[in-house]
């Protein structure tokens, strides 16, 4: 059973608007993946596409630095923390752990399906956006828990090699 309710900022206009924008992105990605797979695409094709989007973000949206602490501070904007009801439980010279308690993409997907396998595959594919970004720094990403798998939160560990 997927638990995906934001605990905070449930009345904050800006946060609600930003969540709505991400829910919308989730719906677009969901339907493109669903119809793409029906047309013969493989999950690997979808992962590859989202990986490329992540690489773009790594090179163009995120702070270019070899310092993972500086990266984390620039990545975790106040808006993003509020949108994803997120926390940073670990931040060292080598590791940045990003814990997400609410995923707007998953909220969008649940409007279309309860197919657990599909949700988990789509979540995995979408995480390629962060893997793609991490590749541009030469860092690794480990996904420990996910909301889509029913863990109640996503724990994303980004590490320097």
Q: Does 158 bind other proteins (CB under 8 A)?
A: no
In the stretch 53-72, what mask flags binding to other proteins with x, by CB under 8 A?
A: x--xx--x------------
Residue 126 gets the label, from left (phi > 0), alpha (psi -120 to 50) or beta, of: alpha
Q: Which of 10, 48, 113, 144 binds other proteins (CB under 8 A)?
A: 48
Q: Provide the greatest CA pair distance for the chain.
A: 45
Q: Does 143 bind other proteins (CB under 8 A)?
A: no
Alpha helices, DSSP H, located in 39-127? 43-60, 68-75, 78-84, 104-110, 116-126
User: Given the rule CB under 8 A, which residues bind other proteins?
Assistant: 13-14, 17-18, 21-22, 24-25, 27-29, 31-36, 38-41, 45-46, 48-50, 52-53, 56-57, 60, 79, 111-112, 129
């Amino acid at each position: 059973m997927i638990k995906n309710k934001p605990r905070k900022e449930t009345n904050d206009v800006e946060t609600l608007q930003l969540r709505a924008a991400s829910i919308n992105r989730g719906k677009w990605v969901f339907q493109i993946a669903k119809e793409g797979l029906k047309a013969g695409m493989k999950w690997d094709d979808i992962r590859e596409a989202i990986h490329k989007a992540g690489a773009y973000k790594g090179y163009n949206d995120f702070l270019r630095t070899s310092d993972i602490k500086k990266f984390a501070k620039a990545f975790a904007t106040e808006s993003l923390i509020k949108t994803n009801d997120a926390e940073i439980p670990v931040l060292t010279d080598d590791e940045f752990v990003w814990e997400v308690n609410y995923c707007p993409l998953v909220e969008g997907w649940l409007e279309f399906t309860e197919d657990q396998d599909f949700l988990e595959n789509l979540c995995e594919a979408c995480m390629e956006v962060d893997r793609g970004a991490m590749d541009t720094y030469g860092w690794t990403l480990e996904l420990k828990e996910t909301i889509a798998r029913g863990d109640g939160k996503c724990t994303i560990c980004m590490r320097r090699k």
